[in-house]
Amino acid sequence: MLQIAAIREHKDEFAKALTKRNIDAIPMLEEALLHDENRRSLQAQLDETLAESNKLSKQIGELYKSGKANEANALKETTGALKAKSKDLSDQLNEASSRLQDVLFTIPNIPQESVPAGNSDEDNEVVSEHGEKPSLDDNALPHWELAKKYDIIDFELGNKITGAGFPVYKDKGARLQRALINYFLDYNTRAGYKEMQVPHVVNEASGYGTGQLPDKEGQMYHIGNEDLYLIPTAEVPITNLYRGDLLEEKALPIAMTGYTPCFRREAGSYGSDVRGLNRLHQFDKVEILRIEHPDKSDGALDAMVVHVKGILEELKLPYRILRLCGGDLGFTSTLTYDFEVYSAAQEKWLEVSSVSNFKTFQANRLKLRYRNGDNGTELAHTLNGSALALPRILAAILENYQDENSIHIPEVLKPYCGFDKID
């Protein structure tokens, strides 16, 4: 959430920057400023009324001490009216503050200057491309056919139990899935990320804290009778571990990693992009997150990009890095790099990670601050990235490592799997 003080100071700059997202933000920004002006006016009136009431209360006490009860009683009528006025002003102030917050919740984060303009993923900027695309023979199969051939993933059985988009991993497919999770976690913890195990359901405050609510409310599974949400990513519960906290500056940076299943309704998804593991309602993901000093978050984002590159290079999967354009940038992000691996059997790129800097946008919602020496407190910066999302990584391994009679296991995963190939 943007800070209202920053909007007051930089309204025109913010409006210009938000055109990269293909939105006219002027009406939202001006509405926020209107509610803010009303809120500040009511706050001033309330402060003045409370000050006058406190002043009179002291006078009443002194009059009683001096034996002037009649004068004191006369003033009490005035303080009673002031208390009623204070109550009315307080109610109006709460309403104005709520309206301001509702507007601020609708304004997305400000894209960084390096974010390219554009309308959709077709306008994302390819930063770099790595590795050689494998050449498969004419009989190569897409992963959903390989899953059936080797009986390692059962989409129909998942549909029977729950519905489409909830696959069942079987035998070596389940073991390969578990191997990837353990490998990702070990890779992350070796790099200094502290592993966390967190709940897979969150309350409404957590959803608002990281920006999934109200922006992505329709994409989250809601448990109505409990008013809880199934998590769409580990980012939500792990970041919310620090909601409302005041950190010491020396505690920064904080680096965390965690594995969770993720649940997304993916409303409106259709076509070839949803075949097999390409798009699921439930999938596994290992996340990395950082809470950073504002002066160091840009460098931290670059380091996270290098970290994810290292995983893909160890897996020996061809990949590319994209800088997302304004039209494809997530609501809470100021700058995002996407990683895509090449699926040889499908002859297409599959997104497997997004690495983002949110700067103070989430921290303002979370009320996550750090103590900045003698200068009081400041909002921290938050960052997160997938390291990695499993379904499309698994799809790429199955497709790129296949031959006519088997699927070979990447060398780095063999100790985790306990087998060399699937046949």
Strand pairing category for 194-195 and 369-371:
unpaired
> How many whole angstroms separate alpha carbon 399 and alpha carbon 391?
12
154: left (phi over 0), alpha (psi -120 to 50) or beta: beta
Q: How far apart are the first and last CA of the chain?
A: 51
- Flag whether 90 is marked binding: no
- Flag whether 248 is marked binding: no
Q: Which of 282, 307, 291 is nearest to 241 (CA)?
A: 291
- Flag whether 351 is marked binding: yes
- Flag whether 57 is marked binding: no
* Helix, strand, coil in percent for the chain, rounding step 5: 50, 20, 30
Question: Which uninterrupted H or E stretch holds 99?
Answer: helix 69-104
> How many whole angstroms separate alpha carbon 337 and alpha carbon 323?
5
- Flag whether 243 is marked binding: no
Which two three-digit tokens encode residue 255? 């680096």
- Flag whether 287 is marked binding: yes
Asked if 188 and 314 count as a contact pair (C-beta separation under 8 A), the reply is no
- Flag whether 264 is marked binding: yes
Asked if 383 and 359 count as a contact pair (C-beta separation under 8 A), the reply is no
Q: Which of 331, 302, 308, 332 is nearest to 320 (CA)?
A: 308
- Flag whether 21 is marked binding: no
CA 107 to chain centre: 15
Question: Which uninterrupted H or E stretch holds 44?
Answer: helix 26-65
Asked if 421 and 406 count as a contact pair (C-beta separation under 8 A), the reply is yes
**Residue ranges at the known binding site:** 233, 264-266, 287, 351-354, 384
Annotated binding-site members for ATP: 264-266, 351-354
Annotated binding-site positions for L-serine? 233, 264, 287, 384
